[in-house]
Amino acid sequence: MTIKPSSVTLSALPKVLTKALRYMGGRPERVLVAGLGNGEVAADSLGVLTAKALSPTDRRKTLVPGVESRTGLPTAKVVEAVARSFGCDLVVAVDTLACEGPQNLARTIQLSDSGIELGRGVGNRRRALSREEIGVPVLAVGVPMIAHTDLYSADVCVTPTDVERVVGRLAALLSRALSAWR
């Protein structure tokens, strides 16, 4: 699988993010970028790598809360506490998504103003990260990196064969777009 961030993609993504922001109600003063997922699992490390590649600024803070199974802390609660503590008026939650089939892996960058259901893609539902749950608007940014398939009557998860490289390129693309976002 080849992911080649073109100059068109690099210039378009910040514009799309800005449009999504306007749709959500304006220009936030303080943004928290939450890099979700398990950094120790390549297919689930998109959010972590994206957040780590960003430089915090006066207006943009970054957080890598980890996953509840490793920290013992509910991710949505951690994000909510940090966002409230620093007076953030928007959370950008970057995460790996799941999709129905391998043909959809790493094919889209999905944006949603309704937040994200943590753990849903791997059947481990947690509290949602949404405006309704944490009291702060959430822009979810995700890329499908895990596909479910029935192989020999067993539920199997599939990832790209070169998942580390694909996730690395996507994280670089997203971090550059978020850095350029005004």
Per-residue pLDDT tens for 56-78? 999 999 999 999 889 999 999 99
Give residue 75's pLDDT.
94
**CA 128/CA 116 separation, integer angstroms:** 6
Are the beta carbons of 150 and 136 closer than 8 angstroms? no
**CA 63/CA 57 separation, integer angstroms:** 13
DSSP class of residue 56?
A: P
Give residue 1's pLDDT.
44
pTM over 0.85: yes
Residues of the chain with pLDDT under 70: 1-10, 25, 120-126, 150-155, 182
Q: How far is CA 48 from CA 135, 158, 179, in A?
A: 23, 20, 15
Q: What are phi and psi of 168, to 5 degrees?
A: -60, -45
**CA 139/CA 129 separation, integer angstroms:** 10
Give CATH for domain 7-180: 3.40.50.1450
pLDDT in tens, 103-131: 888 888 999 999 998 876 556 666 889 99
Instruction: Give 51's contacts (C-beta < 8 A, 6+ positions apart).
Output: 33, 34, 35, 62, 63, 64, 94, 175
